[in-house]
Each structure stands twice: as structure tokens, then as C-alpha cells.
Chain A
Amino acid sequence: MPGRPLSRRTTLGSALAAPLVLAACDIDPPVRESGASPGTPPPPPDSALVAAVVTELVRARTVLEAATVAVPSLAARLEPVTAAHAGHLEVLVGAVPEADLPTPEPASVPSRILPALAVVRRSEQRLLRAVREGCLGAASGDLARVLASVAASTSQHGAALATEVTS
């Protein structure tokens, strides 16, 4: 039972920016009623949810960058996680108005490898919780599927970080 394929960058961003496109899909709910005037299209129902997930992804990316600076020997290990989050952001960020894009706080990461990895793992767990929450709250089935994939990817990378021993 494969999911309804999404073209890579048609993408979620453009789909969410035009809710009628999603409303035409049989797996998505109808557009909600809105009190907005006819000339003011309502915001897509999931835009705030996507913005929250993007904020968490940007925060997690900041932690990864700080960990790489604090412990340069971690760069190779963290690169796959960074690349995955970059892919997730590339798909999701188009759905967030530029003005709403977050400016993350600088992250503080210890300069020793094991404590640094612990900070990264906690950050990834926080991200996973946020993506799960977004998936469960999404009105769009397509968005829920994308966020389920992001959650699955984040869990995979977290497990890989947890099982590798470094001293």
C-alpha cells in the first residue's frame, strides 16, 4: 500500500501554500470555513504546525553545528544527521513565510566528545517529539506522511548515534 507519491519539490511548500490543491485530494479534509473576507484567503490550516517543526529543525541544526565546532572529530559522525535535516528543511521550509523563519539561539556544547554527543542525542530526541506532535496534529494527510517520514529518519539517526561508542 504505497503512499500517494509526492514530487520532491512540488512540494509540500507549494501544496500548503495553496490549500485548495490539497482539498482536491481524497485523502485530505475539506478546506475549513473561515470568517475572512473573500479577498483574503485564509492561511493554510497546517502552516503554524509546519512553522513549529521548521523551528525545531533549525534549532537541532544549530546544535549539530555547535557540536562540530566544539568537537571537530565528531564532524564525520554528525554529517549524515546534518544532511538528513537539511533534506527535511528543504521540503518543509517552503511552507513557512520568510518572516516566520526562526533565528535560533546559539547552542552550548561541551568540548569533550561523550558529553557533546549526549547533548546532540537530547536535541534529536526533542526534535523527534516535536515532529511526532506535528504529524499527529496535521490536517493534511500528505503533510502527516511527510512528517512521519521525518520522525522515522530522526529516530534512525538517533539510534545510530546511541549505538556507536566513542571515548
Chain B
Amino acid sequence: MSAAVLDALQATLAEEHAALYTYGVLGARTSQSATPALYDALTAAYRRHRSRRDQLRTLVEEADGTPVAAAVAYALTGQPTSSIRVQATALALEVASVETLTALVARSSGSVREWALTEAIWSATWQLELGGTPRTWPGAPELD
């Protein structure tokens, strides 16, 4: 695996650390009883991103790299204190994830590209569970 692919994997892993932290905060601010659909959507996304982080760690190690570590904390965009803002923050996170993963698609090949593509499609499709709408160019906004 080339150094360019390893760099891309590490960059994607760093983004996943931030995503997991953010989902943890969003989940803690969401009431399962008051907003069960949102709670379920956040929980499913958290699990998917946790699995994604673990897979990225494995891929980095397989490329003879040392997986980049998570930061202690990450800054959240805005103040997701209401369910509407929580949902919007999660949606923005998935939009950004598609951009990160399509960039990994561009820099990789074979099984890594296939995995990145599958995850990009998942994040794009999950946006609909978070109030998003279909786009023409998810992950490549400069083409819009």
C-alpha cells in the first residue's frame, strides 16, 4: 500500500475520531423518550462510525502505519442544544463524511476503495434519516 493511501487512511481515521466524539455528545443530548426516531438514528450512526473507525485502524496497521490517536476533545459546530440542532449537526457530519470517503476512494484502489465506496454510500443515504434530501453530487460539492 502506498504512502499516499496510508496518508488518506490516516486522514479518514482522524475524521472518524471526531465523528465518534460528536455523535457521543449528540446522543447524550437526545432524549430517547421524547425523540425516539432521532435517538435511534444517532445510535445507529454511532455504531456505524465506531465500526468504521475500527476498520480504519486495521487498514492503517495493515499498511504498516501507526493509527493516529483521537484527541481528548473536539470543538462542535454551533450549540446543538435542541433536537433540531442535534439533527442538523449529525446531518452536517454525514455530509462531511461523504466528502472524506470519496476522497479516500480517489486515492485508493481494490479492497480499500470498495470499502470506502460502501461507507460513502451509507453516509449519503443515512442523511435522509437525519432530515437531509437527495443531492446530485454528494461528496463532490464543487460539481453542483
Helix, strand, loop or mixed for chain A's interface? helix
Helix, strand, loop or mixed for chain B's interface? helix
Q: Whose C-beta in chain A lies nearest to the C-beta of B142? A: A5
A84 contacts which chain B residues (CB < 8 A)?
134-136
| A145 in complex: contacting residue of B106, B128, B134, B144, CB < 8 Å | B106
| A157 in complex: contacting residue of B114, B134, B144, CB < 8 Å | B134
Interface core residue of B4, B12, B143, B144 (most chain A CB under 10 Å): B143
Q: Whose C-beta in chain A lies nearest to the C-beta of B132? A: A156
B132 contacts which chain A residues (CB < 8 A)?
156
Task: Check if B102 sits within 8 Å of A149, measured CB to CB.
Answer: yes
State which of A35-43, A54-62, A135-143 sits at the interface with chain B: A135-143
Task: Check if A88 sits within 8 Å of B136, measured CB to CB.
Answer: yes
Q: Whose C-beta in chain B lies nearest to the C-beta of A143? A: B106
Task: Judge whether B27 is part of the interface by a CB distance below 8 angstroms.
Answer: no
A136 contacts which chain B residues (CB < 8 A)?
113-114, 117
Known: A8-B142, A135-B105. A1 touches B100 (CB 8 A): yes
Task: Check if A152 sits within 8 Å of B128, measured CB to CB.
Answer: no
Task: Judge whether A163 is part of the interface by a CB distance below 8 angstroms.
Answer: yes
- Give complex CA distance A1, B103 in Å: 7
- Min C-beta distance of B113 to chain A, whole Å: 6
Interface core residue of B11, B113, B116 (most chain A CB under 10 Å): B113
Task: Check if B105 sits within 8 Å of A144, measured CB to CB.
Answer: yes
Known: A1-B100, A135-B113. A160 touches B107 (CB 8 A): no
Task: Judge whether B45 is part of the interface by a CB distance below 8 angstroms.
Answer: no
Question: Would you list the 4 A-B pairs with minimal beta carbon distance, nearest first?
Answer: A152-B124, A156-B134, A141-B106, A1-B11
Chosen A-B contacts, 14 in total, with CB atoms closer than 8 Å, are A5-B142, A135-B105, A136-B117, A145-B139, A148-B105, A148-B139, A149-B140, A151-B121, A152-B138, A152-B139, A153-B124, A153-B138, A155-B121, A159-B128
